[in-house]
Copies of this chain bind each other. A is one copy, B any other.
Amino acid sequence: MSNSFGRLFKLTTFGESHGSLIGGVIDGFPAGFNLNLDEIQDKLNLRRPGSSNLTSERKENDIVEFHSGLIENITIGSPIAFIIKNNDKKSNDYKNLKDLFRPSHADYTYQKKYGIRDPYGGGRSSARETACRVVAGSLASQYLTQKGISVYSYVSSIGKIELNKDYNDIDLSNTYKNRVFCPDKLIALKMENLIKEIKEKGDTVGGCVNTVIKGILPGFGEPIYNKLNAAISFAMMSINATKGIEFGSGFESSKMKGSNHNDIFIKKNNKIKTKTNNSGGIQGGISNGEDIFFRVAFKPVSSIKKQQQTVNNKNEEVSFLNQGRHDPCVVSRAVPIVESMTSIVLMDMYLLNLTSK
């Protein structure tokens, strides 16, 4: 298992979905920083299930408690450890599932890898673990904000409903103003309706999350093997249910010619800028000072309320119906998670870059 992320700014998490608690240890946060603890809890609330009828009915208060590394709200250089208690662990829901391998879940792969698995709600493989990432990401985000860096993630598609606008034409401050976390009110409404419809059918649907990083100076990212885009990809693909990532012009670039794709350098207000941003703000694995832009694809949640076929522990083909409470669509809840993992990567790169020259 690899339960730690990062090099200088390092997060280690622990806890299973239906155990007593989950938590994390943050190592490497600089000392003497005034944290806004309420803001961390607010960010965590955005990820929380049960906050609307669009998401899982699992009720979790998700209260973060800090137990190390702070004097009041000031960091002291010690590891910052936190705990989130699991209040609502209806493990009974999983009784009829514990002997079978749920399709497209990690039940089978954990069983094969470890020879044993936690049969309640996926145990460690559950997306519940991502709450810890939001806590750490929120800390990183507060630090980055002081350096002028902002991370904006938002839902850009749910199923086939897409927000087909350049992010420059969107007011990114609107994202958290609706329950879908899509900054376009009208599209958000369509998405919401789609999710309700899907939910009624006991089905689930996927979607995409876009991310824009603003205010980043040139120089973030460590070539050759810890390029900024590589590190962000590593972070994103470690989030549950992600299936792909693309930067700037992305897959579309594979169809383009160099003469169209190149981002010409120009002078603007006596600064060096690029005319276009097909690079998505990264060249040679290092930020070039333009906005960083990437897009992450999420598959539809695997837990559906429909009769499904599978195989059980005894190697028998069986059919089953999952009665657990699950999200018809996790894409919205993924928004703060994507933001958080992005912030964690950026903070690590910020610290690494302090030693480059």
Contact = CB atoms under 8 A, between A and B. Distances in A.
Interface string A293-312: 00001111111101011110
A23 B118 CA distance: 23
B309 A106 contact: no
A250 to B, nearest CB: 4
Interface stretch (A27-35, A47-55, A164-172, A181-189): A27-35
A311 B265 contact: yes
Nearest to A357: B31
A314 to B, nearest CB: 11
A230 B237 contact: yes
Interface in A246-267: 246-251, 253-259, 261-267
Given A106-B283, A265-B103, A71 B238 contact: no
A289 B109 CA distance: 9
B68 A116 contact: no
B77 A114 contact: yes
Given A106-B284, A224-B129, A77 B356 contact: yes
Given A249-B243, A357-B114, A109 B233 contact: no
Interface in A329-357: 331, 351-357
B76 A206 contact: no
Contacts of A288: 108-109, 112
Contacts of A357: 30-32, 77, 113-116
Contacts of A208: 251, 254
A147 interface: no
A1 B28 contact: yes
A108 to B, nearest CB: 6
Nearest to A104: B262
A321 interface: no
A253 B79 contact: no
B238 A225 contact: yes
A215 interface: no
Interface in A272-329: 272, 274, 278-280, 282-289, 297-304, 306, 308-311, 315, 317
Nearest to A231: B234
B68 A15 contact: yes
Interface in A71-112: 71, 74, 76-81, 101, 103-106, 108-110, 112
A245 interface: yes
A137 B109 CA distance: 26
Contact of A110 (B77, B306, B308): B77
A178 interface: no
Contact of A224 (B238, B256, B278, B354): B238
Interface string A20-40: 111101011011100000000
A22 B242 CA distance: 35
A255 to B, nearest CB: 5
A187 to B, nearest CB: 15
A211 interface: no
A94 B268 CA distance: 27
Given A3-B27, A237-B229, A255 B159 contact: yes
Q: Which 4 pairs show the lowest CB-CB distances between chains A and B?
A: A106-B284, A244-B246, A2-B226, A204-B258
Given A14-B78, A79-B124, 6 more contacts: A8-B355, A78-B118, A110-B223, A125-B284, A251-B251, A355-B355
